[in-house]
Amino acid sequence: MDYLVFVEILGKKYPMVFSIGVLQKMIARIGSYEDLNKVRSNIAGVIEHLSDFTYEMIRYGEKYCDYVDAEKPENAAVDENGKWLPISVGFIETCVQGKDMEKILKTVVQCMTMNQAIETKTKESKNA
């Protein structure tokens, strides 16, 4: 079963996953797995690292979609060739404003906890 969460930024939908790669990147930034769990267990900690969490989850979400050949949603953040648009921490910090911050925060927490993960439709894997 494949799990994926989408977040909308400036009207475009980006895929997000909380994978081993994301976990490793966040531990490297925060210091230890125990410290990461402390951050994850309180909203203030997540907010402090929101742009980094969002960036890594989207970056790995895009890779995940490419690996499993996931169907792209309407308004997916893709170019004319169907390739995911690159994203940066600066883009997230600049373009996520106001009421969108709460939506992003909820989506990041959802992705991290996978309590309400969405099953995605996938085509036959290119790597199978």
Q: Does pLDDT of 97 surpass 90?
A: no
pLDDT of residue 120: 47
Two structure tokens written together for 35: 């410290």
Strand order in the sheet with 3-9: 12-16, 3-9, 118-119
Count how many Cα atoms sit within 13 Å of the Cα of residue 28 in the half-sphere of its side chain: 8
Q: Against a cut of 0.75, is the pTM above it?
A: yes
- 21-61 tens-digit pLDDT: 988 998 888 888 888 777 777 777 777 888 888 999 999 99
